[in-house]
Structures are given as C-alpha cells and as structure tokens.
Structure 1
Amino acid sequence: LYDFWVRKTRSRMTDPKKRDIVAPLDQFEWFGATRVNLEMDYYEMLDRPNVKLIDLKKTPIQSFDRQGIVTKTPDAITHHDMDIVIMATGYDSLTGSLLDMNIRDKHGVQLRDAWKNGISTYLGMMVPNMPNAFVLYGPQGPTTQTNAPPFIELQVDWVVSLLERMREDGLRSIEPSEESCRSWKSLVMDVFESTLFRDSTAWWTGANIPHKNIEPLVFLVLSYPGSQGWVWVSRKDPKLSVRAAAKIYQVSRVTLTRRLNGTPSRRDTMPNSRNLTLLEEEKLVNYILDLDARSFPPRITGVEEMANYLLADRDAPPVGKHWALNFVKRQP
C-alpha cells in the first residue's frame, strides 16, 4: 500500500530533493498509523520553484532573530530571511494543556508529577485523588479517534447520569479508585499494543515531544467500532442503546444486506448451525434495534448467537416486540 502511495505521489513532483523529503522511498510509517493527507495540489504546491522546503529532522532550527530563522547542520549555519513566521502550536496533544494548568489533586500533588510515569485516568474522564473533577475529550478517551461533537455529548450524558445518581444517593463527592484507573489503563494499552499504532511516531503517542512518555494518548476504538464501544466499556450496568450494541457486535442491517445480496456470511458455512431464514433474521435484527436497553457479552459476534442469548431466559417477559415468544417456540 505504501509503495502504491509513494509511487503515485512522487510522480506529481519534479524536484528530487523535495520528493525525498515528503515521499521517501523507504517507508517511515505504517500506512494508516498516521493520518492520511487528504489534499488537493499539496505536493504540486511544494514542488513550485519559489517554494523552499526544509527537513527540520535533518536541519533543525537553532534560533530566531529579527530577520528570520537560523537553521544548523553539522556542516553549516544558514539564515532564512522571512517577513512572516506562522507558529504551528498545539502538538503536545491531549496532556500538554492539562499539565500546563498547574492542576493539583486533593493532596497537593501536581498533575504533572502524578503523571510523570504515565497517564492515569478512569474512562479518560476522571483522575484518582481528584474528587468531582471531570475531563471531557481528554487523554485515554476515544477523543481524536472518533467524531468529536457526538462523542462529547456521550461523555456529558455519562457525567449527568452520574451526578443524578449522586444526588439520589445523597453523595457529595466521588472519585475513581487507583485500581479502576489501572484496569482502564490496562485496557487502553492492550488495544494499543494489538494495532500498528504501537510503532507510530505520530502525536497521538506523544512521540513528537522530546522526553515525553511514549504511550497511547487515546483509547483506540478500532477494536470497539465507533465511540459506542467506549459507551459499552464505560457502563458496568449498561443501559446501552441496542442500536449501539448491535453495531459493536456486528448485529445490524449489514447482515440483512449480505443475505439479500446472496453473500454468505461465515456463520452460514459453520457446521452444526441452524441458519435463520431471511424473515427470522429480519425480525430478530429489528427486535434488537428496537429494544430500549440490554447488556451483551463480548463473545457474541453473530445474529444467531445474539438470538440464543436474548431468548435464553424464557421466563423473562418480552421486551419490545412480542414476536420473540413465537420465535422461542420454534427453536429446536
């Protein structure tokens, strides 16, 4: 994939030095482990003769002065005259701003000191020893790996639900335990280590900041499709929307689409498995999507397994549509 990209990109440029800077032949990152440059005419603009391109990894900035910027290499010091310098800031992502705010916990310990060996949060929203403090769109949450506005709404809903529960129970203070934060970090790390992101030098690992701990700054929701994966994990007694659960466990209208198109799924070819008819499957998926709240175990990956799980407790009253009782009676 990288070879395809680099071949296509280099063909758009004529300057060999610039080509080697922005599209080197030697792969420097896993494709997709950093954000793909979705651009128009970007490389053609860099290739223009009136544009000078400096590789700061090989030619670092030594200083600024009134006339411009000074760069230095082992062989030379070069002054670049400039009228305007645009400072690109903000790349100490997710933790930089928090650590610069002089935040202290209830024992007077600065957050910078508390996190000197690594980030510690619960769900990316709460920090141990910091009662009644909530962080939205922060470190160890899905954050930059999800759609920001709806995910922030999910976090706000979570906080509101918690505050309502505190009011009902007469609680004035709440904070996460060290154990819960360790458990959350373990999950964040496990997901991170299972992906190519672990080898990335992108800003979401902190690798772009000298002396910063290299660790996942975000909860990679790749293993839990969409920000709804965070929702599922965040609720020990989840009132998880079934539309979200269906998405997480691959029980959705995608299944129906495959059946309608005549495309067999993996479970269709499994031995000793009773396949659902299209009508049964359609009813089941609609039933799942119409439920108000359910907690599904992560082992469930298919529609038939979901049906068996949902209908296992035959004494339970039906939730949502009543077709489920008839469906139960038809089970072998």
Structure 2
Amino acid sequence: MTQIIEVDALVVGAGVGGIYATYRLADMHMNVQTIDMASDVGGTWYWNRYPGAMSDTETYLYRYSWDKDDLRTYPWTHHYVYQPEILEYLQHIVKKHDLRKYMKFNCEMNSATWDDPDIPGLPNFQGSLLHTAKWDDAVQLDGKRVGIIGNGSTGVQVMTAIAPKVGHLASFQRHPQYSVPSGQGPIAADYRKKVNEDYDKIWDNVWSSTVGFGVPESTRRTMEASPEERKEAFDEVWSKGNGFRFMFSAFGDLTTDEAANEEACNFIRGKIDQIVKDPAKASILKPKELYARRPLCDSGYYEVFNRDNVDVIDIQANPIKQITKIGIELAGGELHDMDVLIFATGFDAIEGSYSRVCITGRDGKTLKDHWRDGLKAYGSIACSGFPNMFLIAGPQGPFANFPPVIESETNFITSLIEHAEALDSGRKATPNGTTNGEANGTNGTSRTRPATIEVSEEAEQDWADLCDSLVQGSVFLKSPSWIFSRNIPGRKPNTNFYFAGLRSYLEWVSKQTSAGFPAFAKGWDA
C-alpha cells in the first residue's frame, strides 16, 4: 500500500549539506522531511570507510561555521579529521540540534542503481572485491596480496594506510598524481586555544577568500621571482603541507600561467625523485601533464613506494586486458596474482548523485535530459523547468572548500524560500533574508505558498555562460579530470565550477538577494 506524506520540503541526503539544509528549513518552521538510503547520517562520510579516509581541509574549517560554541568546545585531535571523527561530529550536530526527528533512513529515491566498474572478467575473480565507497571491514588485508585500481585522493589515502600491513600491494596506475604533504599530525593545546580565540577572524578570512581553505592566497607572480626565490617559496609551502596551500599560497598564478605551473610541476617531480629510491618506480610516479587537477595532499604516499612490498604498474603503457580468477592480466601478458582487489574508482562528482535518480520536471522532462548537452544550474542551486527543486553542491558552484560552499548555497536557497514565503503572506522580506513578523506555519501544519519558485531559462543560461567565460585561460582546461566531466566515458565535457571564487560568489548572491531574486520573478505571479 502506498503511503503519501505531505511535506513543505524534502531533503534528499543526510550528509553535510543535507544536515544543514534540514537545520535551516526546520528553523524556518517548515514541515521538512530528510531521507537517506543509508542507515544513519553522514552522506559520503557514512559510506567511505576505507583505511586512511580523511578530509584534506584543516579540522577547524571542516565543520559548520554557524555554531561558534560548538567549535570552541567540541574535541578534535589532528590537523585533518579522519572519517570516524567526521561521522561522530555530524552525529553530534544532529543530536545537539534535535534534527533526527526530521530524518528517515534506509529510504531511497526510486531508480537509483549501483554502477560497478566495467572491466572484462570481473565476475570471475575468486578473491575479495572491495570498493572504497562501500568498504567491507570484514575483509582482512593483513598479509594479503592486494591490487588497487585508482590513485586519486581516495586511492592515495588507502595505499598509504594499508601498505605497512599487506603482504604485497600493487597500484595499477593510469594517471600519475601530483601530491604534496598534508601536514597531518596531532593538535597541540595552544594551537586549539589560538583557533578558538581567532574564530571570528578565521571565518571572516574564509568568507573573503577565493578557495575558502584558510590558507594565504598569494598575488605574487611566479616568473617574477628568481629561481632561488621560487625554490624557497615552494619549499616553504611543501613543508607546511596542504594541497591548496601549495597551489595558491606560494604564488598566485599557478592556475592561469602555464610557465608558472610548469615550475611547480618541476618542483614536485624533483621531490618524487628525491623521495622514491627506485628510479623505475619514480619514473612511473612522475606526472608529465600540468598540475591542473584538484590538488592532492598525503601522509607519506610517495614514501610508500620505497617499501619492498609495494609496486606501481603503468596501465597506460600496459593496459589491463582482463580480470582472471586469480588476479589481473595485462595486455602484455603479465599476470598479477592477488587475494584482494580494491577499486578506488568511479568518482562521478557533481552530476552522479542526480543522474542516478529519475527526477522529472515540467512536461515530463527529466533532469538527465536537461543536462544532456552539459551541466548547468543557476548559482549552482536551481534548474529551469524544475520548480521548487533546489540543489546543494550542484554543478557550477564555487571551486572552493566544500563546507563553506555548502553553507553559502544553503543560505542562498533558504533566503530565496523566505522571500517567497513573505510574498505569499503579503509581508516584505528584510535585507538579511528574515521576515518581519512571525514565521507562518509550524511543522506539520498546512501552508499556503507561491505556486512555483522557478528560475528562468535566460538566467540559467547566463550563469552557465559566465562560468564558461571565467575558466578561459585556466590551466585546468588542459587536464582530463572530473572538474570538467572528462573522467566519465561518454560524458560531454562541461564547466562544472564557478572559478571566480567563494568571495565573488557571495557578493553575487548578495546582489541577487537585495534585488529580490529577479531570476525567479516569473514564478512569483504563477
């Protein structure tokens, strides 16, 4: 029997964005229901439980900015927070603000399907298969022969974590990665005290920055420095750690000047040669392309390949032919026996979560159809033809630290909803997005609201055109990465981010809010 539940707002996903959206919408006295296919909160941090999983953002920024008391009192121990601690933190926030009553778990939207890697012979493998997004702790790795396919951020973390305990580890590498030290380590008491004292200043700097990672953002041009000065600057950010620090703090033009970028490439390649003792391994690990993917950081990735039990196989030079019963056979005929095969693959960022679900808008058009010729979403939050549907961390949002981006987009959405609610009740919204008088309605009551909140096609296309124009001249365009949907076979390349930065995005949102959200004006009278 079908059960029909009427709500004011449906939030799909109980990760960082879903939790904050639930908090904001409930605070607006809306009847909100949050669903998640998992059995608890966490989103990506619920599923990604592989060894070594952690954020690459300083711990004091990988949390919500709006709960100052919580930041000052909630315990954290390391510069970068590991997956179990992130999950505990999100569970804590949900409990503290009594959000669980709005949430329903083990509840999945229709038409979602799991997409296993398409590799010949995979069903024949008689060992254990693991995917980092669905890690099985019951599979023991100690002393086992392990192969791993995928060496993005996830693969780097997994390899670094498991190398000391496996019998043998083989990395089947398609694209070598530039990675820098993370600077991970325990937090000293005086460090935590300093963060607490400077909380407001830290977050002011985040909101006024380009990438929102709490690192200095240099305006110095690379080629204006002498070779000695360049090496000194790169050495300093290398020793401090963090991928975004390396990309944005030493110099300000690594993402826009190819010659400057090549200087950074040569520095990291030199570090690989210094760290990795085996010249053959070092040669495979050194990227030849530009430093133009999401900047990675690690806790000893290159050092792992100095271990006798760790090898790297170049599958561009010698591709995988098939999976056999006992391992991986390469095109050259070599067979690598293994007990466990790990996939750190299939990172379908931005679009993936939406394309797996059948979302239908006006005239029977699905979101997948809407994006067939390329992803686009006005301000990263709304698509024309899909009234009353909003995205958090959708396409064409700021290329910046996700927690501040998620907060910014959620605030944009809830301010828009508040504006619509005020119009509906005949009250005028104040500039900060709140309404004069009491909020209309409470959880569980019926409400009268505008027929639609829908962005115009023109505004959506103008935003997409702006995103395209902002990336012109960027070295990121030269990389075949997920940043432009180039890692998914058959996917049309697309500008998936707004490259003007977090500060510019917030200034734009402020203008739209002050102007009364003109991109949605068509819906006010619907």
TM-score by length of 2: 0.41
Q: How does 1:6-21 map to 2 (within 5 A)?
A: 6-21=269-284
In 2, Cα distance between equivalents of 1:109 and 1:77: 48
The offset of 1:105, in angstroms, is: 2.0
Alignment of 1:166-205 (within 5 A): 166-170=420-424, 171-205=450-484
Distance 1:85 1:21 in 2: 21
CA distance in 1: counterparts of 2:374 and 2:295, whole angstroms: 28
Q: Structure 2: how far apart are the matches of 1:63 and 1:97?
A: 29
1:264-292 deviation line (CA, Å, top 9, x unaligned): xxxxxxxxxxxxxxxxxxxxxxxxxxxxx
Provide Cα deviations, 1:144-202, integer angstroms capped at 9, x if missing partner: x3222232222222111111111222213111111111100011011111322121222
Q: In the alignment, residue 68 of structure 1 is paired with which amino acid?
A: G
Residue 238 of structure 1: how far off its partner (Å): 4.4
| More divergent stretch after superposition (34-43 vs 154-163) | 34-43
Write the distance in 2 (CA, Å) between the matches of 1:41 and 1:161.
44
* Matching residue of 2:78: none
Deviations 1:211-251 (A, max 9, x none): 2222221112xx34xx23212223444459xxxxxxxxxxx
Change in CA separation of 1:36 and 1:237 when aligned onto 2, cut-off 3 Å = closer
Q: Residue 228 of structure 1 aligns with which residue?
A: 503
The whole-number CA distance in structure 2 between the counterparts of 1:113 and 1:62 is: 34
Deviations along 1:10-68, whole A, 9 cap, x unmatched? 122232222121115xx311x3x223442343212123232121122233333334422
| Cα offset, 1:88, TM superposition | 1.2
Q: Tell me which structure has the larger Cα radius of gyration.
A: 1
Q: Does 1:156 align with 2:429?
A: no
CA distance in structure 1 between the aligned counterparts of 2:370 and 2:294, rounded to whole angstroms: 30
SS of corresponding position for 2:497:
coil
Q: Which moved more, 1:160-169 or 1:126-135?
A: 160-169
Give yes or no for the alignment of 1:35 onto 2:294. Answer: yes
Provide the C-alpha distance between the structure 2 equivalents of 1:176 and 1:127, rounded to a whole number of angstroms. Answer: 6
Q: Give aligned pairs, total.
A: 227
Within-5 A mapping of 1:1-332? 1=263, 2-24=265-287, 27-29=288-290, 31=291, 33-72=292-331, 76-142=332-398, 145-170=399-424, 171-220=450-499, 223-224=500-501, 227-239=502-514
Q: Percent identity?
A: 30
Deviation at 1:132, TM superposition (A): 0.3
Q: Residues 90 and 229 (structure 1 numbering): CA distance in 2 closer, same or farther, change over 3 Å?
A: farther
Query: Could you say which structure has the higher strand fraction?
Result: 2
Query: What code does the residue aligned with 2:464 have?
Result: K
C-alpha separation in 1, matches of 2:314 and 2:360: 39
CA distance in 2, matches of 1:165, 1:41: 50
SS at match of 1:54: strand
36 and 168 in structure 1: CA distance in 2 versus 1, 3 angstrom threshold:
closer
**2 CA distance for matches of 1:14 and 1:92?**
34
- For the Cα contact (< 8 Å) 1:120–1:128, is it kept in 2? no
Measured in 1, the distance between the counterparts of 2:365 and 2:335 equals: 44
- Change in Cα spacing, 1:91 to 1:129, as seen in structure 2 (3 Å) is same
The residue identity in structure 1 corresponding to 2:417 is: L
Distance 1:97 1:79, change over 3 A: farther
Provide the rounded CA distance (Å) in 2 between the counterparts of 1:23 and 1:134. 41
What is the letter of the counterpart of residue 507 of structure 2?
W
Helix, strand or coil: the match of 2:312?
A: coil
Contact 1:61 1:71 in 2 (8 A): yes
SS in 2 for 1:234: helix
> Displacement, 1:121?
1.3
Q: Name the structure 2 match of 1:267.
A: none
Q: CA RMSD in A?
A: 2.1
Query: Counterpart amino acid of 1:111?
Result: L
- Secondary structure, counterpart of 1:85 in structure 2: strand
Alignment CA distance shift 1:13-1:189 (3 Å) = same
Deviation at 1:135, TM superposition (A): 0.4
Task: In structure 1, list runs of 5 or more residues that go unmatched.
Answer: 241-332
Task: Tell whether the 8 Å contact from 1:166 to 1:172 is kept in structure 2 after alignment.
Answer: no
Residues in 2 aligned to 1:35 and 1:114: alpha-carbon distance in whole angstroms: 27
TM-score by structure 1 length?
Answer: 0.63
SS at match of 1:38: strand
- What SS does the aligned partner of 1:207 have? coil
Q: Provide the C-alpha distance between the structure 2 equivalents of 1:137 and 1:113, rounded to a whole number of angstroms.
A: 19
- Greater relative CO (CA pairs within 8 A, separation 6+): 2
Distance 1:237 1:218, change over 3 A: closer
Given the superposition, is the C-alpha separation of residues 6 and 179 from structure 1 closer, same or farther in structure 2, using an over 3 Å criterion?
same
Q: Provide, for residues 52-98 of structure 1, a one-character-per-residue CA deviation record: whole Å limited to 9, x for no partner.
A: 211222333333344222332xxx23332111122213412111221
